Structure 1
Amino acid sequence: MSIEHGEFSISLEGSIIKTKLMGSFNEFGAKRYTEAVIEVVKQLEGKPFAILVNNLELFGGTPEAYQVLEEYNKWVNQQHMLAKAFVFNAAILATIMKNMSPSMKADNIQMFKTLEDAESWLEAVLQQHVKINA
């Protein structure tokens, strides 16, 4: 029997790390998720990136899961992350995440209701970065 709760998928498309969270997370599921994302970030070897978090099938998490996410967010915010977009279909989950994880209040983190809006924003941020550094 597994003590982990919560399922996820991760893919890297160009400079965007796309993740999808499903179900309810406990600290063990959150740890497995954050370790998997950290591995992808390390594979980028310092190159700039963005993260898209699809929470459309997320039910929430335990307080301990949010503590794991807070530590991970502090770490990832110090990497070469240009932007992070979260997609929620329930505004209450976005509010809970912001309240449980203070590091989510950074300027380069936005909440969206659709994947399309989130992807458009991330693409615009990445394009702006390319222009500035060209």
Structure 2
Amino acid sequence: MFDSHGFFTLYFDEAIIVFVAEGSWNEQASNICIIEIKKIIDGFDGKSFGIVVDSTNLEGVTPEGYNVWLKAIDEWNKRKHIATTRVDDPESTIYQAFLSGFDEFFNETQQFRYSSSIEDGISWLNSIGLEGFAEGIGSKTAITNKPLG
């Protein structure tokens, strides 16, 4: 078994998940994060939801990790994942190499746009009818695999 590579921090409130991804991701880290996101989605009890993805500090995704994510996103779409917004630079080399395919999939299957910040992404999701983070992201407890310190 390989060690997990890639760090995540998740916040959630009402119908919105904020997912902050950092580092280089392999299949193992992807699976760990997907399990945590699934737990959050299970708590939505079938209501529509959206995700803010902040990938500004992502360094890469292995092909195996990429495929695990595509499968998970497809499953979430069947569970009323209706919108995604990404905080990143779509012109960056890392984005083009590792993330553009995800966003093409989002564009084909749900509402999608880029945001300048997590707060901007939350505001957009609120504007399309998804509630959450009225008190701001700082008021929520994080789920993370980042080491302490």
Query: TM tier, shorter chain?
Result: 0.7 to 0.9
2:105 pairs with 1:103: yes
Question: Post-superposition, which runs of at least 4 consecutive aligned residues in structure 1 deviate over 4 A?
Answer: none
**Residue 10 of structure 1 contacts residue 19 of structure 1 at CA under 8 Å; is this kept in 2?**
yes
Distance change >3 Å, CA 94–CA 112, structure 1 → 2 = farther
CA RMSD of aligned residues (A): 2.4
Equivalent pairs counted in the alignment come to 128
Q: Which amino acid aligns with 2:125?
A: L
Provide TM-score, normalisation by structure 2.
0.74
Q: Tell me by how many angstroms 1:101 deviates.
A: 7.1
Distance change >3 Å, CA 105–CA 82, structure 1 → 2 = closer
* Residue number in structure 2 paired with 1:4: 4
2:68 pairs with 1:68: yes
Identity of aligned residues (%): 24
Matches within 5 A, 1:13-32: 13-32=13-32
* Residue number in structure 1 paired with 2:128: 125
The structure, 1 or 2, with the larger RCO (C-alpha pairs under 8 Å, 6+ apart) is 2
Matches within 5 A, 1:48-59: 48-59=48-59
- CA distance in 2 between partners of 1:113 and 1:94 (Å): 15
Q: Tell me by how many angstroms 1:2 deviates.
A: 6.3
Structure 1: gaps spanning 5 or more residues: 128-134
Q: Tell me by how many angstroms 1:62 deviates.
A: 1.0
Q: Tell me by how many angstroms 1:103 deviates.
A: 2.6
Task: Give CA deviations for 1:82-128 in whole Å, capped at 9, x if unaligned.
Answer: 3111111463344332336753332412233332332221111126x
Q: Which amino acid aligns with 1:60?
A: G
* Residue number in structure 2 paired with 1:80: 80
